[in-house]
Structure formats: structure tokens, C-alpha cells
Amino acid sequence: MTPKDTLKIGSRIFNSRLMIGTGKYQSAQIMVDSLESSKSEIITVAIRRIKNMDKDSNLLQHINWSKYWMLPNTAGCKNSEEAIRIALLGRELAKLSGQEDNNFIKLEVIPDVKYLLPDPLETLKAAEILVKKDF
């Protein structure tokens, strides 16, 4: 691969530019198979959707986090305060998954549940605070 074919974010270099999500799969096995087939190295994880139940329903336990880079997502947040709290939780989950230096976040602030229109001012407010917190 040439540098032109790679994706560089901060100090991290990825061989694939494809980012794939973990939501809406019919089963954990289908999700794992899809991730493997995609050749993606970055996986988005909606922090609010992680179930904290037994191992069969917790997606974090189904993914080999030494193989994939976690991109925590603030999906479902309606204001900047909520997005900041979820982003901080996402960073801790990445650390618990063995990614100590993961400060990535997919920032979404969407109060409009009908049309899913983002709130640019609340998103900017959250981004400014998260950057100060080394995201």
C-alpha cells in the first residue's frame, strides 16, 4: 500500500478507509462475519446502545478489539452536555477494550427525532469542549 491508499487520523494509519457500524445486525455472528468480510479497521459503536447484560447480548465481547479500532459514537444525544458525557464514557470503554490511546469520537448531536437533523451549534459547543479534553 502506498501512503495515498491509507487513511491517517492523528498518529494512526489505517489500510482501509471504510468505517462500519455495529448496529442493526440480526445476530452477533452476522455482525462479526460482516466486519471480517468488510476488511474495515475502524468500527463505530453507539455508546448508548451497548447493552450491559450477559455476554451474549454485549457486542463489546464479540469483537476482537486488537484487530479493530473503536470509534465511539454519541448517537442519540440531544444536546452538548449529553454528547460530552457519552463521549467520555466511550473513551473509557475503548480503554477497557485495550485501546489506551484511543481519543477518537464520532460526534453527533441530533435533537430532531423525526428528520434526524443535527444541531450545529450544540455540536460545535460539544466539539470545543471535547477538544480541550484531548479528543
What residues are annotated to the active site?
106
CA–CA gap between residue 65 and residue 100 (Å, rounded): 12
Q: Which grid cell is 37?
A: 468480510
Q: Where are the extended beta strands (E) located within 22-68?
A: 42-46
CA 104 vs CA 91, 92, 130: distances in Å:
8, 11, 10
Please tell me the distance from the alpha carbon of residue 17 to that of residue 9, in angstroms, as a whole number: 11
CB 79 within 8 A of CB 111: yes
